[in-house]
Structure 1
């Protein structure tokens, strides 16, 4: 995009973590922000942060699994702000555990949020993005979208799907004024592990709260900074963190990449 100043940005999952940091980063670059989150309170807090920077903000409570509600919010955003130039599909959840131990309910839950949430966002907001003089979509994948991790199969499934979907969508929109970026963060300090499902969810949450977490995980602001840069420079893909970059390199030079990881995690998973 030529500029983010005075543009209207939509951020799903904007009430916390990477979403809140992205709302702040976009506001500091001069954007007004529509904050979308399943928690009205969290969204309102992010909106207050945007306003404290001197930009306009609106709050929209939405479960991204609900296609009709997402469409209604798209209409609300355009009515409130007059346009939509940037969409950041950030809302997401995670799970941990062996695939055979995953319940179908949990599999549907994670796919509905991580995959269908992205699809719903793109379908609902794309008309407004195309109607603007220029626009940009950012979809959040993960380093597991580059390398499917054993005992993290469901999450890998969703983030790999987001990767392929985003790459195809960018190619489809290449002749338009709408750019598309896929982001591959590594380990980031957010609350996503607290709501994780799966047989290893408790262990995942404990790891996220451990004393080593601040050393092993990067802050959400590091992702937000790269998102803003990607929008401004129309980057096709962004990796965030040394772990994500290492995984990206591994997938390029070592095709049989998951077997060794599986052997290691199988020894420590119980």
Structure 2
């Protein structure tokens, strides 16, 4: 997109972390925001932050796994802003632990948010995006979408699906006014681990809340990549040194995760 000033962006998972910082960065470019999150308090706080940049911000409480609720969002956003030019499908959840110990209800929960949330957002907003003079979709995957990691198999399932879906969608829309990008973040300092499920979910949540998290890169790196992808029409952005290592490993030794599996199995056994 040539210019973001005066445009309207929908950001899911905007109540905290990457979604919040992305919203702030878009607002700094003069972009108006429609903030979507399952947490009313979170998006209200984000709205107050982005309004300081002098832009309009609306809040929309929604669980992105709910197709009917997401289907209502375009009309709500159009009623407030009159247009939609950017869609950032960022909302996500995680789990940790061996797949054999996963509960199917937790698998469905993750697939609902991480995979169906992206599909619902694209399906609901694409007709409106196609009506604009220029528009862009950003789908946030993960470094596990590049190379599936042991003890993260379900998360990798969802993020790998986002990768493939987004690549296919970009191909379909390449001759239209809608650009499409995939973002592959590595480990960053967000609160996604706070709601983690799975056999190792509690341990991961404690790790995310510990002092160790201070050494993780800030979510602003990912937000910067998202905005760059929109402005420069980048098809993919790999963010973080760990993500770049996995990207290289996926190219040089695809499917060879046995070494990582042995290491994570030993680590899990200690806990």
TM-score by length of 1: 0.98
The residue that corresponds to 1:213 in the other structure is 213
CA distance in 1, matches of 2:247, 2:8: 32
CA distance in 2, matches of 1:145, 1:185: 10
Q: In the TM superposition, what is the alpha-carbon distance from 1:78 to its structure 2 partner?
A: 1.0
CA distance in 2, matches of 1:255, 1:62: 37
The residue that corresponds to 2:225 in the other structure is 226
CA distance in 2, matches of 1:29, 1:127: 25
Q: Deviations over 1:183-215 (max 9, x none)?
A: 000001111001000010011112212323222
8 Å Cα contact 2:87/2:136 also seen in 1: yes
CA distance in 1, matches of 2:210, 2:50: 30
8 Å Cα contact 1:78/1:128 also seen in 2: no
8 Å Cα contact 1:97/1:152 also seen in 2: yes
**SS of corresponding position for 1:212:** helix
The residue that corresponds to 2:101 in the other structure is 101
Map 1:94-173 onto structure 2 (within 5 A): 94-173=94-173
Asked if residue 18 in structure 1 is aligned to residue 6 in structure 2, the reply is: no
8 Å Cα contact 1:10/1:36 also seen in 2: yes
The residue that corresponds to 1:235 in the other structure is 234
Q: Please say which of residues 79-88 and 259-268 is displaced more in the overlay.
A: 259-268
8 Å Cα contact 2:147/2:254 also seen in 1: no
**Compared with structure 1, are the counterparts of its residues 256 and 123 closer, same or farther at alpha carbon in structure 2 (3 Å cutoff)?**
closer
Q: In the TM superposition, what is the alpha-carbon distance from 1:256 to its structure 2 partner?
A: 4.3
Asked if residue 174 in structure 1 is aligned to residue 174 in structure 2, the reply is: yes
Map 1:69-108 onto structure 2 (within 5 A): 69-108=69-108
| Alignment root-mean-square deviation, CA | 0.8
**SS of corresponding position for 1:175:** coil
The residue that corresponds to 2:268 in the other structure is 269
Q: Please say which of residues 245-254 and 142-151 is displaced more in the overlay.
A: 245-254
Q: Unaligned stretches of 5+ in structure 2?
A: none
CA distance in 1, matches of 2:177, 2:55: 25
8 Å Cα contact 1:7/1:84 also seen in 2: yes
The residue that corresponds to 2:198 in the other structure is 198
Asked if residue 259 in structure 1 is aligned to residue 258 in structure 2, the reply is: yes
Q: Deviations over 1:98-119 (max 9, x none)?
A: 1111011001000001000000
Q: Unaligned stretches of 5+ in structure 1?
A: none
CA distance in 2, matches of 1:250, 1:74: 39
Q: Deviations over 1:59-102 (max 9, x none)?
A: 00101111111111111101110000000000010001111110
CA distance in 1, matches of 2:205, 2:104: 21
Q: In the TM superposition, what is the alpha-carbon distance from 1:260 to its structure 2 partner?
A: 0.8
CA distance in 2, matches of 1:82, 1:119: 23
